[in-house]
Chains A and B, each alone.
Chain A
Amino acid sequence: MSAQNPIAYDSKVEGNIIFTKVDAAINWMRSNSLWPMPMGLACCAIELMAASSSRYDISRFGAEVMRFSPRQSDVMIVAGTVTYKMALAVKRVWDQMPEPKWCIAMGACASSGGMYRSYAVLQGIDHLIPVDVYISGCPPRPEALLDGLMKLQHKIMGEHSVEDQKRALVETI
């Protein structure tokens, strides 16, 4: 078992047994069942819908379960122009999502305000909530969204939440 290979197989022990770290197992489960909160606010939402259609099939990456309740979601996909009026609702939904949670800023508007340099538009959703992956494009094609999703999966695979908890526990003792 090494850093590159998070699981190991020992043929001398019984079959159907692998050795791994708890972190690696948890990350593997989390990254392959990312339930999105679709925050579709503009034309990017059309590409988000296309990404779940059979041609692109976001379910290949375990993220097909669009949850319209923030309490069941893992990743918020902010797809579209965030106006200041809508920003209040986006933040409220984000606050209701349980940890661990991630955020994908899909498209130019969600990332930076895009072409809307205006009094009415929030200049990037990262002013309000922490963003893990930015996807460029106006709007991005479904392939770009899938690429961003894979980038997020890679990021999750590098997390060590249990290790951090254990270290924090040791430090308190």
Chain B
Amino acid sequence: MTSEDAAKLLTGQFPNAVLAKTDFRGEVALTIPKASLHAMAEYSKSELGFDYLLDISSVDHFGDEPRFEVVYELCVLESGTHLRLKASVSEDELEIASVADLWPTADWHEREVFDMMGIRFAGHPNLRRILMWEGYPYYPLRKDFPLEGKPSDVPDVAFTDAAPLAGGPFVTAPTDGITLVREPRARRPGDQPPQEQFIAEP
């Protein structure tokens, strides 16, 4: 069974639930509504043989509506067939069904998505933060969260400060210039913006 076959079978079983299908160099992705995610995941596992969940990731389309997207990478271990399911989650209703009852590995993947993006998973057995400390008030992988972090203080638990990023050596310049101009260099406030300079061929 190829990815194409799996997508066809899944579309045949849930004809109204496939909003879009993309095929990029043999990688098939189905965009589905989040309401039918659990049923489709269950069908993929029990009938199509997707016995392995490779990864759950999340995308922040900041400025668009719906803002978030959760991406599931399914795999058949025996044949190596892959299938990608994408479900949109709007900011007003940040919740999607958990698939931890189908694939136990989803437990930690979903905890990571919750920790970094703030998307809740309904029916998850243990939805706690996994990378940041318990009680941290932000979701750091969102587009509107700065790289240096925000100060926070939870009394008797922990605190964070914004990291001193300005002037540091790891700041990229937001220009369309060549790599030498864009790449991370020590830049202090008040410095001239980096200029493109002529580099002789070696």
Contacts and interface: CB of A to CB of B under 8 A. Distances in A.
Interface of A: 84-85, 87-88, 113, 115-121, 123, 127
A123 B165 CA distance: 11
Nearest to B157: A88
29 contacts: A84-B132, A84-B133, A84-B158, A84-B160, A85-B131, A87-B158, A88-B157, A88-B158, A115-B170, A117-B148, A117-B163, A117-B164, A117-B165, A117-B168, A117-B170, A118-B147, A118-B148, A118-B163, A119-B145, A119-B146, A119-B148, A119-B150, A119-B162, A119-B163, A120-B132, A120-B149, A121-B163, A123-B163, A127-B161
Contacts of A88: 133, 157-158
Given A115-B170, A118-B149, A123-B161, 4 more contacts: A84-B132, A84-B136, A113-B163, A118-B163
Contacts of B131: 85, 120
Contacts of A117: 147-148, 163-165, 168, 170
B51 to A, nearest CB: 32
Contacts of A113: 163
A127 B159 CA distance: 10
B125 to A, nearest CB: 21
Interface string B161-175: 111110011100000
B108 to A, nearest CB: 15
B33 interface: no
B47 to A, nearest CB: 40
B76 to A, nearest CB: 35
Q: Which of B145, B162, B163: most chain A Cβ within 10 A?
A: B163
Interface string B184-202: 0000000000000000000
Q: Which of A84, A88, A115: most chain B Cβ within 10 A?
A: A84
Interface string B120-156: 0000000000011100101010000111111000000
Nearest to B171: A117
A85 B147 contact: no
Contacts of A84: 132-133, 136, 158, 160
Contacts of B132: 84-85, 120
A119 B170 contact: no
